[in-house]
């Protein structure tokens, strides 16, 4: 961080202090408030962390006003159009795009570790068949921590790299098994000669009675969707992983905590919620009614897949997602009326003052459900695929956080509004 010539001064109860300001490579400057409490007795109050930078990072840059998203400086649309997910994983983990040799070695290492220990497979049988796949993912992925705990040494780069490879490699296998378990289908092991995305689709959709024929267009679409969802700065689930790992907990368990946070409909669960919303709207003529509901403060209904804490412009991922939706629907010969509803809903909302004033635009979750449904997935699997993609972001941010000398256990304070001290009253005297 580069110190700014500007200072931040604060005067409180007649005392003025000066706090240092720092420039990042790009984006807002930050004021370092580490001394604030010690020198003024003040805490800052920022529920939802709207004005708070929780860490330093070099991985992902977002400019919400301009609708910019870059992974180590590479624009997301260029990576989505020209690269592949494994290449993007290497970039997020190492800060540079791989050479062809580095790529082959990385890809092979991931494939080699994509099988599950047979004891892990036994965990599935404890779930009900109608369990939500995200609940299964949380449980089974978290269980990995029981298999790889004995050598846990997060200060050892060898342990970190082994944990990194295992988490990236096993997440799609666990996810595909969670899907097949809900259907009562036998599990399918990964193959070593397929792409990460192609392998995942085969593990989900293979019918063992027939040879599996990979659909390259769908594998490419899946790969692109993984790229779009790979990382996104300090979002709720990534911040969960960082906070959990700040106590130096087992990284497999910390990533499982990220899965939990992602599940919420305000976050990664919005892709499932957005498709369910489009189904509820059903037809274009019902859009005005739902737009009015979304604007009504007394109605809890919100446009799912719309709005974002950071983007006050069009989410750059949503544009690529919309194009991918058209591509997959055309390839599959599907004329999905919900795509027309989604595009008309976007058009009406973006011309409505309520949404314009609040800078509410479609986000990454608005179109993804239409694409994933066309690929054959039930909406309950949509956030699972978000979790597969985001695993590399969680792991990259975990690695960055635990090796940052400035980081210590995350322990926020509070403003206390409860009762002042009072003496215990025996139950017999409580009336």
* Catalytic residue numbers, as ranges: 308, 365
DSSP-based helix, strand, coil % in the chain, nearest 5: 55, 10, 40
**In the complex with ligand SDX, which residue's Cβ is closer, 164 or 363?**
363
Report in angstroms how near the CB of residue 353 gets to ligand SDX at its nearest. Answer: 12
- Binding-site size for ligand SDX (CB under 6 A) equals 22
Nearest to 114 by CA among 86, 134, 95: 86
Three-class secondary structure of residue 404 per DSSP: coil
Looking at 267, 293, 312, 331, which residue binds ligand SDX (CB under 6 A)? 267
**In the complex with ligand SDX, which residue's Cβ is closer, 145 or 368?**
368
Output the DSSP codes for 139-157: HHHHHHHHHS-TT--TT-H
**In the complex with ligand SDX, which residue's Cβ is closer, 122 or 358?**
358
Report in angstroms how near the CB of residue 270 gets to ligand SDX at its nearest. Answer: 3
- Structure tokens given for 416: 């206390």
Of residues 192-231, those binding ligand SDX (CB under 6 A):
none
Residue 228, C-beta contacts closer than 8 angstroms, at least 6 positions apart: 76, 80, 317, 320, 321, 364, 389
Is 240 among the residues that bind ligand SDX (CB under 6 A)?
A: no
d(CA 383, CA 391): 12
Residue with tokens 């005067």: 11
Nearest to 120 by CA among 137, 132, 133, 107: 137
Give residue number: closest CB to ligand SDX: 307
Site string for ligand SDX, 341-360 (x = CB under 6 A): -----------------x-x
Candidates 13-21, 142-150, 169-177, 298-306; binding stretch for ligand SDX (CB under 6 A): 298-306
Output the DSSP codes for 226-262: HHHTS--SS-HHHHHHHHHHTTT--HHHHHHHHHHHH
Report in angstroms how near the CB of residue 202 gets to ligand SDX at its nearest. Answer: 26
**In the complex with ligand SDX, which residue's Cβ is closer, 198 or 305?**
305
**In the complex with ligand SDX, which residue's Cβ is closer, 173 or 391?**
391
Report in angstroms how near the CB of residue 169 gets to ligand SDX at its nearest. Answer: 22
- Structure tokens given for 26: 């790009």
Of residues 299-318, those binding ligand SDX (CB under 6 A):
302-310
Site string for ligand SDX, 357-376 (x = CB under 6 A): -x-x--xxx-----------
d(CA 51, CA 55): 13
Residues engaged in binding ligand SDX (CB under 6 A) = 48, 232, 235, 266-268, 270, 294, 302-310, 358, 360, 363-365
């Amino acid at each position: 961080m580069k110190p700014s010539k500007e200072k931040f001064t604060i005067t409180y109860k007649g005392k003025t202090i000066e706090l240092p300001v720092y420039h990042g490579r790009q984006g807002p400057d930050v004021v370092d408030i580490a001394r604030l409490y010690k020198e003024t007795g003040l805490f800052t109050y920022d529920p939802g962390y709207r004005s708070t930078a929780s860490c330093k990072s070099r991985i992902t840059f977002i400019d919400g006003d301009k609708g910019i998203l870059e992974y180590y400086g590479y624009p997301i649309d260029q990576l989505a159009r020209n690269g592949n997910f494994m290449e993007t994983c290497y970039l997020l983990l190492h800060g540079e795009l791989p050479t062809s040799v580095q790529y082959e070695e990385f890809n092979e290492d991931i494939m080699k570790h994509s099988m599950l220990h047979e004891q892990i497979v036994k965990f599935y049988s404890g779930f009900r068949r109608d369990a939500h796949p995200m609940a299964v993912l949380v449980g089974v992925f978290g269980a990995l921590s029981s298999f790889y705990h004995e050598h846990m040494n997060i200060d050892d780069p060898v342990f970190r790299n082994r944990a990194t490879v295992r988490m990236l490699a096993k997440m799609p296998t666990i996810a595909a098994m969670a899907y097949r378990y809900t259907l009562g289908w036998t599990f399918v092991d990964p193959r070593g000669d397929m792409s990460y995305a192609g392998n995942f689709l085969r593990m989900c959709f293979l019918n063992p009675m027939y040879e599996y024929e990979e659909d390259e267009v769908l594998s490419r679409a899946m790969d692109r969707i993984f790229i779009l969802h790979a990382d996104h700065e300090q979002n709720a689930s990534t911040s969960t992983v960082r906070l959990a790992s700040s106590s130096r907990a087992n990284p497999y368990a910390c990533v499982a905590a990220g899965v939990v946070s992602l599940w919420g409909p305000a976050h990664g669960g919005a892709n499932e919620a957005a498709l369910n919303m489009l189904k509820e709207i059903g037809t274009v003529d019902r859009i005005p009614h739902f737009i009015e509901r979304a604007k009504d403060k007394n109605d809890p209904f919100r446009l799912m897949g719309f709005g974002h804490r950071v983007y006050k412009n069009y989410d750059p991922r949503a544009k690529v997602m919309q194009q991918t939706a058209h591509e997959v629907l055309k390839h599959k010969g599907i004329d999905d009326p919900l795509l027309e509803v989604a595009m008309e809903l976007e058009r009406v909302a973006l011309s409505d003052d309520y949404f314009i004033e609040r800078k509410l635009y479609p986000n990454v979750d608005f179109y993804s459900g239409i694409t994933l449904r066309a690929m054959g997935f039930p909406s309950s699997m949509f956030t699972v695929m978000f979790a597969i993609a985001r695993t590399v972001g969680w792991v990259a941010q975990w690695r960055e956080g635990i090796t940052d000398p400035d980081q210590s256990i995350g322990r926020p304070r509070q403003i206390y509004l409860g009762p002042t001290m009072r003496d215990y009253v025996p139950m017999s005297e409580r009336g």
